Chain A
Amino acid sequence: MTAPRPGRPEDAIAGVVPRAVLAPETVEEAAEAVRAAARDRARLAFVGGGTDLGLGAPPEGLDLVLRTEKLSRIVEHAPSDQIVKAEAGVTLAALQRTLSAHGQRLALDPPHPDRATLGGIVCANAFGPLRTRYGTVRDLIIGIGIVRADGVAARGGGKVVKNVAGFDLPRLMVGSMGTLALVTSVTFRLHPLPEQETTVLFPGVEPGKAASLLAETRRGQLEPSAAAALASGERLDLGVRFEGFAAGVAEQRERLLALGRAAGLAGEVLDGASAKAFWERHRAVREGAGVRVKLSARPTALEALARDALAPLRSALAGGAVVYPTLGLAFAAGEPASPEEVARAVERARVALGPAGGSVVVQEASPAVRARLDVWGPPPASIVLMRRLKERLDPDRRLAPGRFLGGM
């Protein structure tokens, strides 16, 4: 059995340093550690690549952090069935390397692929621009292995893409941030690697015009694999990517350019290097340290989102912003000078988006900012059901107590 080491400042979760850190070598060892923690009434948190340690409110206290980094086996890849089962600590980049040798990929592209682990991606519900076409973890996950708070190992789902047997434990874990159980393995459905891809850039577009261009794109039955807009002053640099077989990609690119011309927007087809540069700019915002805020609204609320929520946030954060206009999601990140101003901007954004069902979640922040706001914001009414699940699966409140929504 591996021995724990003392917690260090860099192990902190939302600012809270654990007393000890353990990296089990095997799933069995991880289960044993959770069982031991249950016996000792120890408070636990789980860490994968540590790319999203700022998520959530500070836990009330942490006796032990379990790191999944050594649970790094790809258990089964069945190329002809297009599924893969891997342990939670496998990084996304490592998985994609194995899959690409067979012309396949997991259609998820969250930030930090070199460090982000599959377990962490599931628990944080992490995503990137490919969500435009392929959806999120919940749309790709088909099976899961967990260790419950009481140290009991269990699994849900299976390894076939179509399966409705039993309650859906895999989806219950998506976005649960390790507050219901430790995720030890994940099974995903896979997609073929596209033969070709191309990105069209519409620089400096007014948010309203970007919204109508994308509405036309949808009406015109184009199917982009990704659409992301980078804030540039009051305007947006809108990038639209198509993927697939060469003929389809070329045809869609030309039709999008034509739609742009009809709207008075000049699109540029980006070559390899400039496409890479655009998506790098996008990645820099998504991976921004300091303060990072996630915003959600109805897709058609793009103009209001940009004007009433994103603009004040960008000014307070003195940083960049990414909008996924077809999804109704945006991120703003920066290194702000004034925590008070950030708190006010977050509050303004909540007032702007909340009444229509949107949300504003602070994903990363300094202690000074955290002290001035609730990172989660007001919980939805359904929190009553979430509490019931939490109380049943973690009755002693030992899994990252206080980190999740509503102090759960």
Chain B
Amino acid sequence: MAAVVGARNCIRELSDLVTYECDGLAHGRVTPGLVVLPGSTEEVAEVVRIAGAAGVPIVPRGSGTGLSGGARPVPGCVVVTLSRMRRILEVNFDDGYVRVEPGIANLEITNRIAAGGYYYAPDPSSQRVCSIGGNFAENSGGAHCLKYGFTVNHVLGARLVMDGGEIVDVGGVAPDSPGYDLLGVLVGSEGMLGIATEITLRLLRKPQTTRTFFATFPSTDEAGDAVSGIIAAGILPAAIEMMDRLAIEAAKAYLKKLDWPDVGAVLLMDADGPAAEVEHVAARAVEIAKGCGALEVRIPKSEAERQLLWEGRKAAFAAVGRISPSYLVEDGVIPRSEIARVLREISEMASAVGLRVANVFHAGDGNLHPLVLYDTQVPGELEHAQKLGADILRLCVRLGGSITGEHGVGAEKKAFMADMFGPTDLETMEMVRCALDPQGRFNPGKVLPTPRLCGEQPGPYQPHPIEKAGLAERW
């Protein structure tokens, strides 16, 4: 491997490997056997061929900001980190696309092309650091995906290194390339089907106008009603975010310049598009919020004021660190109409075990992010918090929702897959995995709760060869 990527891009020392033991999900660390940082598609392909010949599992990695352990190593694996591959290869405003390497940070794309008045729409909270390759693997969303969709709606094409080291181009700038929608399957496959080494993304023209409003409410009940009312009025906001009392408290403790009142809930909404349309929509939304019992509605008078409101929202995750020694970030989805009821239920579940939960989330699409606060110094509290998180996810599934809206299943949530899907559903997903990576070389042990050998009929568990060889424990 060192001969392929260069000795300095090949990490073998234990002290250096520690950095790669986990991603944004800090618990459940595993030391990889080796980390390589290839500089080109050809180098990635060669690394995959060498690892394949040696029977070594491959774990792809972007910036390592994932929250589901999707980039967590397996024992003895080679971690392929794409962070050296971060060039913009081509920009074309007329056809509306940009072709990039996977290691580039999400926001860097928009920043570097902003002068042209175009942007890349998906905006995960970690967009300053998270890589496009990671976004591709996780089908990342963000606050504005309510109107604009997820990564999968914005990837036009990709170059991938597949399990045998073969390089394949999928999709392209001309639409409707004949055949199956391979990109639809590859985006969001959590690094288990191939490694994207070049990605072509759709660029959008910036909207003419953006109007933001911020509204405070006595409780999440009224705020939830307002969200339902806005949607029922035929309005499709670009984003509509909610924070509850504890999240507001945390944001204020973290960002001293926030002058938000102490209330039960706030809503932050963006409407964007052609000017007259947006003015109408914003005015109507304010009316609806007031009708639903909003205490105060603010329309920012300047871009700086608007940015501050969003800063308060985006800082919420970090802010919760100020009011609790530790916290778990959950990511569940419920039908939007159930928001108020579910938040009450979560609060009752938390009280019952003596824990606090802060809620800051994408209300427009029902994507909850309950932050379960705990203290590792208190014996048993982590376990309580984990159990509460699990109960919240099961509640989401029971209401017809999902165990993940944007963070991915990864290593952390595969146990919940069986709550959401039946055995034949999972088996069909395995068939897809077996079609494109029959040896299970890429990112083994993620997403699927009980992976089987490809070719094997469903039946009793059999150990994987890697496991038999003592290279891994059962995942």
List residues of A whose CB falls within 8 A of some B CB.
78-83, 103, 125, 135, 138-139, 146, 148, 152-156, 158-172, 174-176, 180, 191-195, 215, 218-219, 221-223, 244-245, 247-252, 255, 294, 296-300, 327-329, 353, 356-359, 361, 376-377, 379-386, 388-389, 391-393, 404-406
Contacts and interface: CB of A to CB of B under 8 A. Distances in A.
B188 interface: yes
A170 B153 CA distance: 14
A247 B231 CA distance: 19
A160 B365 contact: yes
B182 interface: yes
B335 A169 contact: no
B181 A175 contact: yes
Given A163-B404, A297-B174, A174 B184 contact: yes
Contact of A159 (B180, B185, B335, B435): B335
A166 B177 contact: no
A2 B404 CA distance: 41
Contacts of A161: 146, 365-366
Given A135-B153, A156-B429, A167 B205 contact: no
A111 B400 CA distance: 33
A389 B436 contact: yes
A375 B248 CA distance: 60
Contacts of B150: 162, 164
B305 interface: no
Interface stretch (B312-320, B380-388, B416-424): B416-424
Contact of B277 (A139, A247, A296): A247
Contacts of A252: 274, 276-277
A392 B176 contact: no
Contact of B408 (A125, A164, A221, A300): A164
Range class of the B interface residue count:
35 or more
Given A172-B432, A223-B274, A389 B400 contact: no
Contacts of A389: 180, 185, 432, 435-436
Given A218-B205, A300-B94, A392-B431, A386 B182 contact: yes
Highest count of chain B CB atoms <10 Å: which of A103, A180, A215, A251: A251
Given A191-B236, A221-B208, A385 B333 contact: no
21 contacts: A82-B336, A83-B335, A138-B153, A148-B428, A156-B425, A161-B146, A164-B139, A164-B404, A165-B404, A166-B429, A167-B429, A172-B184, A221-B206, A223-B207, A252-B277, A327-B175, A356-B174, A357-B173, A382-B182, A385-B170, A392-B435
A249 B281 CA distance: 13
Highest count of chain A CB atoms <10 Å: which of B170, B180, B275, B406: B180
A34 B273 CA distance: 48
Contacts of A154: 422, 424-425, 427-428
B187 interface: yes
A102 to B, nearest CB: 9
A245 B316 CA distance: 34
Interface string B162-180: 1000101111111111111
Contacts of B300: none
A247 B280 contact: yes
Contacts of B138: 164
Nearest to A152: B424
B400 A160 contact: yes
Interface string B327-354: 0000001111100000000000000000
A357 B170 CA distance: 11
Contacts of B146: 161
B402 interface: yes
Given A164-B138, A166-B421, A168-B184, A251 B435 contact: no
Given A153-B424, A160-B366, A219-B205, A298 B174 contact: yes
B354 to A, nearest CB: 30
Contact of A299 (B96, B278, B404): B96
Contact of B189 (A82, A167, A299): A167
Contacts of B421: 155, 165-166
Contacts of A297: 174
A358 B174 CA distance: 5
Nearest to A393: B431
Nearest to A211: B94
Nearest to B400: A159
Given A139-B153, A153-B424, A156-B425, A405 B280 contact: no
A405 B436 CA distance: 18
Contacts of A163: 333, 401-402, 404-405
B452 interface: no
Contact of B162 (A172, A192, A194, A385): A385
A79 B435 CA distance: 38
B168 A381 contact: yes
A64 B204 CA distance: 46
